[in-house]
Amino acid sequence: MSTTTSRTDCDVLVVGAGPTGLTLAANLLARGVCTRIIDKDPGTPRLSRAIGIQPRTLETLDLMGIADRFLDVGHRVRGVGVYAGRRRLLGIDMAYSGSPFRFQLHLPQHHTETLLRGRVTELGGTVEAGVELVGFSDDGDAVTAILRDTAGREQQASARFLVGCDGAHSRVRHALKLPFLGQPYAWDWLLADAHLDWAGRPDQVYVFVRPDGLPLACIPITGQLWRLSLPMPGDRGGRPPTLDEIQGLVAERGPGAMVVTDPETLTCFRCQLRSASVYRKCRVLLAGDAVHIHSPAGGQGMNTGMLDAANLGWKLALVAAGQAPESLLDSYGQERGPVATQVLRFTQNLVRFGTAARSLKRTLRDASLPALRLPPVQRRLAGRMSQTVLGYPDSPLTRPGRVAGLPRAGERMPDLAVHAPDWPGKTLYAVLRSGRHALVMSDRAAGPADWADLRPYSDLVALVAAPLRHRRAIALVRPDGYLAAVGTAGDTTAIRDYLQHLAAAPIPTASAFELVNTPNGLAQLSDPPANGPANGAAVRPAGPDGRAGAGQLAELGHGQPRPRQPAKVFVSEGGLELTGYGVHRGASGGMKSSSEQERCRMDSIGEHLHTSSGATD
């Protein structure tokens, strides 16, 4: 085995190109983050696992601008029916989910991955197939990963952050020595994707429960192709079923008159119910099956991983751009950990419901059925399954609050029509695609004073108006479509507090930037010296009239150039002011994220400018 060293510099190394890693990479690339995505698999066709894309995931794909691609090829399923023989015990109608997507979209996972991979490519990324992460070290400033290709060649790659989206057997999680607490289920599951000749409607999932606690689930994939899923007591050691065996079991457990033919997949697997409680260790993070696994009941796993990625994507992008401090990344696990706990509990309850064997359990289950049919409970069930009711009201990021007509802060904000000169004919989600938060003001209240108050955050926030029910309402919506904070015209305290916290970071010192004249007489923040630290860099005066203009703010004191972010310099009554963002090194030499969306008074720069100007001019 040969070993070569090539320094690969990227902001984020995504390990694993399953649905979670691909969603994360697409979110990062769309926000201009230098991203590398690898997968150890060289591209061999795999068993298609997930089928159901839930409404909240469709909304998230809409936020990524690609929901239509999935809708064009997926199969719409309106609900789930639970039966005892031919008797319908319970139905869950996805129209109750509260989403404009009033259905689950069924699409084999490999198609979902193909569409996501297409988006990654379109955004300039490349999925590096056949590249395995074999180890990594995190020195606090960067992560150095050891990658191995299929020929056994190894290379080092350095990244500012590494995200393990590497599935249930995550090497990243193992390397971090994180416990994956839980246990396997006590039975195997048989699975057949096959043609099914029967009277079932292709827009419904059917679950047939039985007194022996051994159900049959029939899940439509397309009009004719169905997934048949059957728990089996004991341990088969992974031996896949035959078509005859499936036919026999379907005849035994189903409502009768079902003929199974043309199987595309016949397999046996064992599920586990496990989760890790740590989502981040310094510069390494985990997402998807790498942090939570459970049974496929309810079709939650892939969806939860993709929603992990959507939560992490915008945060990593802000941190990578120096627009927010690294501590923002802690909110990722603080938000997604409790969601995973709820998802695990939900799937476990579904399994218990479907496999209730003892008569007492069955009696209790059947006694609860009338309550489960009530519309509020139906809404709750559909919301749970579709993941539309999951949110972050208890997150340390969220500023608690409520304004009539809006969801509670922390909850999902539904899409709605908005209007603003910059966003003609747009919806809220289309605005959020810009990667910024959206400040939605009631179109009857929008007071310029409120926006003036928040102007320092204009790099982070897009301003729109909408017909909100409360005439003075103002809502700040995160890029992943959750309500960050609410306020009213004249009281934006919670919103300002959220933004201050989001952007909280050291303010750059005058010595961190070089301000030089440009031919047009406007000041410009220039590159630092190529290799030298920026401390002590000369600050030269702005134009003779004191005017200053837009410039580039570069990462300082670092040999490797990073993508630069724009910084704007302008003069106000009080003196020179800077808005924008950058990354600079702290005294310790460690990378510190610094965010200056909060427009900082540049009195110190001004002062420095005067003192230095004598020396330099």
Q: Please report, as ranges, the residues that interact with ligand FAD according to CB under 6 A.
A: 15-21, 38-41, 49-52, 109, 132-133, 165-167, 171, 191, 269, 288-289, 296, 299-303, 305
Shortest reach from residue 180's CB to ligand FAD, in Å: 13
Shortest reach from residue 133's CB to ligand FAD, in Å: 4
User: Between residues 287 and 397, which has the closer beta carbon with respect to ligand FAD?
Assistant: 287
Shortest reach from residue 301's CB to ligand FAD, in Å: 3
Q: What residue has token string 């955050």?
A: 457
Single-letter residue type at 418:
V
CA distance 483 to 403: 11
Q: What are phi and psi of 426, to 5 degrees?
A: -100, 165
User: Between residues 269 and 570, which has the closer beta carbon with respect to ligand FAD?
Assistant: 269
**477 bridge partner residues:** 438, 483
Residue 469 token pair: 């029910």
- What residue ranges in 60-129 does DSSP mark as E strands? 75-77, 79-84, 87-93, 104-106, 127-129
User: Between residues 39 and 527, which has the closer beta carbon with respect to ligand FAD?
Assistant: 39
Q: What residue has token string 């959020």?
A: 432
User: Between residues 214 and 440, which has the closer beta carbon with respect to ligand FAD?
Assistant: 214
Single-letter residue type at 2:
S
Shortest reach from residue 314's CB to ligand FAD, in Å: 19
User: Between residues 109 and 275, which has the closer beta carbon with respect to ligand FAD?
Assistant: 109
Report DSSP letters for 321-380, one per residue.
TTSS-GGGGHHHHHHHHHHHHHHHHHHHHHHHHHT--SHHHHHHHHHHHHHHTSHHHHHH
Q: What residue has token string 């670092």?
A: 558
Start-to-end CA distance of the chain, whole Å, equals 59
Shortest reach from residue 173's CB to ligand FAD, in Å: 10
Shortest reach from residue 363's CB to ligand FAD, in Å: 30
Shortest reach from residue 531's CB to ligand FAD, in Å: 34
User: Between residues 232 and 516, which has the closer beta carbon with respect to ligand FAD?
Assistant: 232
Q: Mind spelling out the 3-state secondary structure of 119-175?
A: HHHHCCCCEEECEEEEEEEECCCCEEEEEEECCCCEEEEEEEEEEECCCCCCHHHHH
User: Between residues 175 and 503, which has the closer beta carbon with respect to ligand FAD?
Assistant: 175
Q: Which residues have a Cβ under 8 Å from the Cβ of 452 and sit 6 or more positions away?
A: none
Shortest reach from residue 123's CB to ligand FAD, in Å: 18
User: Between residues 23 and 565, which has the closer beta carbon with respect to ligand FAD?
Assistant: 23
Cα radius of gyration rounded to whole Å, the chain: 27
- Cβ(62)–Cβ(429) below 8 Å: yes
User: Between residues 49 and 75, which has the closer beta carbon with respect to ligand FAD?
Assistant: 49
Angle at 333 between CA 34 and CA 107, to 5 degrees: 70
Shortest reach from residue 374's CB to ligand FAD, in Å: 27
CA distance 550 to 580: 10
User: Between residues 16 and 241, which has the closer beta carbon with respect to ligand FAD?
Assistant: 16
Shortest reach from residue 550's CB to ligand FAD, in Å: 40
Nearest C-alpha neighbor of 387 from the set 436, 336, 433, 423: 336
CA distance 47 to 109: 9
CA distance 379 to 375: 6
Residue 524 token pair: 């410009």
Residue 55 token pair: 């409404």
Shortest reach from residue 528's CB to ligand FAD, in Å: 36
Single-letter residue type at 256:
G
- Cβ(600)–Cβ(507) below 8 Å: yes
User: Between residues 49 and 437, which has the closer beta carbon with respect to ligand FAD?
Assistant: 49
Residue 530 token pair: 């190529």
User: Between residues 18 and 333, which has the closer beta carbon with respect to ligand FAD?
Assistant: 18
User: Between residues 16 and 557, which has the closer beta carbon with respect to ligand FAD?
Assistant: 16
Shortest reach from residue 170's CB to ligand FAD, in Å: 7
Shortest reach from residue 298's CB to ligand FAD, in Å: 8
Q: What residue has token string 């939650």?
A: 300
